[in-house]
Amino acid sequence: MQKSKSIIYALLAAAFYAINVPFSKLLLVHVGATTMAALLYLGAGIGIGIMSLFNRQEQSVKLDRKDLPFVIGMIVLDIAAPIFLMLGISCGSSSNASLLGNFEIVATTIIAFVVFRETVSRRLWAAIALITLSSILLSFEGTDSFRFSYGSLFVLFATVCWGFENNCTRNISSKSTYEIVVLKGIFSGVGSLIIAFIKKETMPQLKYIALALILGFAAYGLSIFLYIRAQNTLGAAKTSAYYAVAPFIGVFLSFVFLREHLTGMYLIALAVMIAGTVLATADTLIMQHSHQHQHTVTHTHDGNTHTHTVTHSHKHNHYYTGGKHGHRHSKDQLIKELTMQK
């Protein structure tokens, strides 16, 4: 029951984020790009902040001083990313922008590999290559033109910023969900709003401000909140697999609400993007099972050296990476079992 609920949470998180691109494009007719980015994050911060007032019973670890560098990095990158995205949406197609959102997988993985020395499987490298190829195809203005689309380039800049931001947030993800989303929303929103004032963007009418705040609460606030809730049960890998449907929902909404037409280049890029996304999500599949292991443990007790064979059974995760898999055994767990045998 809990697992089914978490799957629904993950799919809802994807659906909420998917509405961001097409509906932002509609609002950008009346709201400046930087102002729009500010209102989206402010909506997320204010909305989740109000939710937290009704959920005071939740016990979670608060952020502390050692988390400050990651919090600052998260906020600065969250100021830049939505501004780039709004600029990309305003001068490009909504469907392209939705699909290009999957380049965030590439950016996040490469940054984790280069900066944090995380292992990347051959299957994931293949997925990265396909998603990158699709992003290049989507960045051209047409089959008869070799000019890059500025809209697509701005969206790619946004995904790179979010790739860095994901790697900052991963270091504080065990802390309070409410606190992270509220800080992210309020400070990133205020930062973008200051930039909008410097650029002298005209403030939109009150009804458009309200609509942008509501969209931000749903597309950013609720999406992040539900994503983290799903993670608690499904784990990061499976949650990201379900969340990968978001760009494709965004493409569907773009065709329905914005009447955007399909081009030959777009259909080719769509097929390549689907193949890359399938590979990326397949790489995250986890199989849990239980079996027995025997370990020989040597230790000294009462001046004598003893050797014991410890048999124990436990569940563990197998992360499939190009046909190879592995897991770790806790030293503390072995010592505990050895003590119980004595």
Domain locations in the chain as residue ranges = 2-284, 289-341
Residue-wise pLDDT for 30-47, tens only, equals 999 999 999 999 999 999
Residue 93: per-residue pLDDT: 79
Residue 102: per-residue pLDDT: 77
Residue 169: per-residue pLDDT: 77
- Do the strands 304-319 and 286-301 form a parallel or antiparallel pair, or are they unpaired? antiparallel
Residue 330: per-residue pLDDT: 42
Residue 321: per-residue pLDDT: 34
Low-confidence residues in the chain, pLDDT < 50: 143-146, 286-293, 311-342
Say what the pTM is: 0.71
Residue 12: per-residue pLDDT: 92
Residue 185: per-residue pLDDT: 93
Residue 162: per-residue pLDDT: 86
